[in-house]
Chains A and B, each alone.
Chain A
Amino acid sequence: MKNIKIEATDRSPELDLNFEMNSFCIKGESYPEDVTEFYGGILKSMENYFSNLEGETIDFCFELIYFNSSSAKVFMSLFDMLEEAAEEGNTVNVEWVYVSDDDNMEELGEEFGEDLEAANFIMKPVE
């Protein structure tokens, strides 16, 4: 699987998907005009990729400043995908990075994280 790197724009996040290292990061603001167009292909590739992994360690980091409700749906699918990969015997570390005084982003992280059982979930406040 080829690595994917997409620069951030005004309304879409930076994507750094390193399949060689199994290290993935979504960073910035997410309210693209067309969420399906922006994330659709990537979600599909990741789903295929994760479902074929065995005994690997996956690091996935969400470092978001703002995202809209359509993006939340995409992230929910990603969390479900990561939990499944962990259930299949991979070690999955999910990091939720948020600005420490951002109550809402903290709450959103907790809400996504509470459904992870097989995957490790870490809340990481930053200044």
Chain B
Amino acid sequence: MSVDLPPVSSMAGDCMLAKDMYDFRNYLQNTGIIFCYSGYVTDDILVGIGNAIKQKLTIDEEDSNTTRAVFSVFVEQVQNVIRYSAEIETTHDMTELRYGVITVGKKDNRVFITCGNIIKTCDKERLGSKLAQIQGMDKKELNKLWKETLRNDPPEGSKGAGVGLIDIARRARKGFTFDFAEVNDVHSFFTLKAYI
């Protein structure tokens, strides 16, 4: 159940800070967003937020198949950021931290999982055409491609099985959209939104 908060004017403390944060929270809630993470993503964050999502959807009495599908798409989306975001910090022991934005929400009776991260613009065409290809596939074609991809060697430049996007498409019962925005000469921002 959601909590009714008092209006901003009655909040104590640093008004500007609280007002800004409250406006930000309201913006997220108005767009249906329940969870929002923007920052460097690690596997521990994935597990932590993943568990919270499962709990929240269980409280909302989503059926267990929906909860499992949301969790599954969330994991693939976050692992894509961890592996492929082009916004990287490298620590002194060579651990790489990659930046991304992940939201999970509900609107119009659909749960959505949205992920955004910087990519190199030179990867845009390959990624875009791969997504357009699987977007046009029916369930049977997707399953066939999934199996073929599992048996093939991972594609060049892929750190996983190269099957994550197909998996997202298989799980996104109500479809998915994707988009790119130019950031600078060499970078673009990539967003994938999956509906369940």
Q: What residues of chain A have their CB less than 8 Å away from a CB belonging to chain B? A: 10-11, 31, 33, 35, 66, 68-70, 72-73, 76, 80, 101-104, 111
Contact = CB atoms under 8 A, between A and B. Distances in A.
Contacts of A10: 47
A90 B161 CA distance: 30
Nearest to A31: B75
**Is chain B's interface secondary structure helix, strand, loop, or mixed overall?**
helix
A102 B65 CA distance: 6
A69 B149 CA distance: 10
Contact of A76 (B47, B69, B150): B150
B64, B146, B150 — which one has the most chain A CB atoms within 10 A of its CB? B150
B125 interface: no
Interface of B: 43, 47, 64-65, 68-69, 71-72, 75-76, 79, 143, 146-147, 150-151, 154, 160-161, 163-164, 166-167, 171
Contact of B75 (A68, A73, A80, A102): A68
Contacts of B163: 69-70, 72-73
Given A35-B160, A101-B64, A104-B69, A73 B76 contact: no
A118 to B, nearest CB: 18
B166 A66 contact: no
- A-B pairs, 3 with minimum CB distance: A73-B161, A69-B167, A76-B150
